[in-house]
Amino acid sequence: MALMMIFCTFIFNVLCLPLHLIKAAGLYEMYKRVFPICLYRCSIMYNKKMHDKKKELFRSIPEFNKHGKLTILEIGCGTGTNFEFYPPGCKVICTDPNPHFKKYLKSSMEGNDHITFDRFLVASGEDMGAIESESVDVVVCTLVLCSVNNIPKTLQEARRMLRPGGGFFFLEHVVGEPSTWTYFFQHVLQPPWYYFGDGCEIIRDTWKPLEAAGFSDLKLRHLEAPLMFLIKPHIMGYAVK
């Protein structure tokens, strides 16, 4: 099975050669203008199927309000599909490396007036220098660690920005169990998925860098999401600084 997976992955890499060349030529950046439209539609479906899981995850956020006004920073906010789950009265700082999400972000904010929008920053998860250290109560990261260039660095930045005792909330799709067909097809289809998902990787064992990030406490569990088999394996939970 391993040899077959390597061979099939090679074939898909060859088929993706035009996409490799487009990226090397710097033309792939044009897709970043289109990607928010695709993600907006996919996010509506994802929220419907994962509504109960998100509600369960985010219901613990108010416990981290220890300074009167709860401040949430979301890494990779995308179209703002998490806003409906945030507690009333909180202040939200939004960041995303793709500036073209701002239009959809504005629409989400207008539809969620129970929260206060602080600002939108164009920044990658690995470089959040515009945010002061120990300045937020909660950092949220959903379906983002699959596409950042450096997971440990992103988690390091999250810890830096969190106040002592602050919480890092996550919900991520991950690689499946070895020797399963999910694992096989995740690796085989990774080359085209990377491009159509704007850098998304479905073969990451994201729980490992979370366990090694140095948080004082980690509540993490694996689950099977009610989604297509390639992104069915998920992890969710929160970590405490």
Q: What's the rounded mean pLDDT across residues 134-162?
A: 97
Please give the Cα distance from 14 to 17 (Å, whole number): 5
The mean of the pLDDT values for the chain is 93
How far apart CA 159 and CA 167 sit, in angstroms, is 9
DSSP string, 111-148: T-TTSEEEEEEE--TT--TTSPTT-EEEEEEES-TTT-
pLDDT digits (tens, 9 = 90+) for 159-217: 999 999 999 999 999 999 998 999 999 999 999 999 999 999 999 999 999 999 999 99
164, with CB counted inside 10 A (0-12, 13-18, 19+), is exposed
pLDDT tens for each residue of 82-100 = 999 999 999 999 999 998 8
The pLDDT score that the predictor gives to residue 32 is 83
The answer to whether 6 touches 13, Cβ cutoff 8 Å, is no
pLDDT of residue 39: 86
Residue 71 has pLDDT above 90, yes or no: yes
β-pair partners for 162:
136
**CA end-to-end span of the chain:** 41
For residue 20, the model assigns a pLDDT of 87
Confidence (pLDDT) at 190? 97
Calculate ∠ Cα 36-171-119, nearest 5°: 50
The whole-angstrom separation of Cα 67 and Cα 235 is: 29
The number of beta carbons lying within 10 Å of the beta carbon of residue 212 is: 11
Structure tokens at 212: 């090694």
Q: What is the distance between the alpha carbons of residues 158 and 138, in angstroms, rounded to a whole number?
A: 9
Interval 10-26: pLDDT, tens: 899 889 989 888 888 88
pLDDT exceeds 80 at position 1:
no
103 pLDDT more than 90: no
pLDDT of residue 101: 86
Residue type (1 letter), 45: M
Per-residue confidence (pLDDT) for residue 223, from 0 to 100: 97
pLDDT surpassing 90 at residue 115: yes
- Predicted confidence (pLDDT) at residue 131 exceeds the cutoff of 80: yes
Residue 233's nearest CA partner among 212, 197, 205 is 205
Residue 77 to residue 72: CA distance in whole angstroms: 11
Task: Enter the tokens of residue 173.
Answer: 């799709």
123 CB-contact burial (10 Å; exposed 0-12 / middle 13-18 / buried 19+) = middle
pLDDT single digits (tens) 22-65: 888 887 888 888 888 888 888 989 999 999 999 999 999 999 99
Q: How confident is the model at residue 2 (pLDDT cuts 50, 70, 90)?
A: confident
Mean pLDDT of 67-85: 93
> Regarding predicted confidence, which is higher, 141 or 67?
141
Alpha helices by DSSP H, 64-213:
102-110, 151-161, 181-188, 190-196, 207-211
Looking at per-residue pLDDT, the higher value among 4 and 230 belongs to: 230
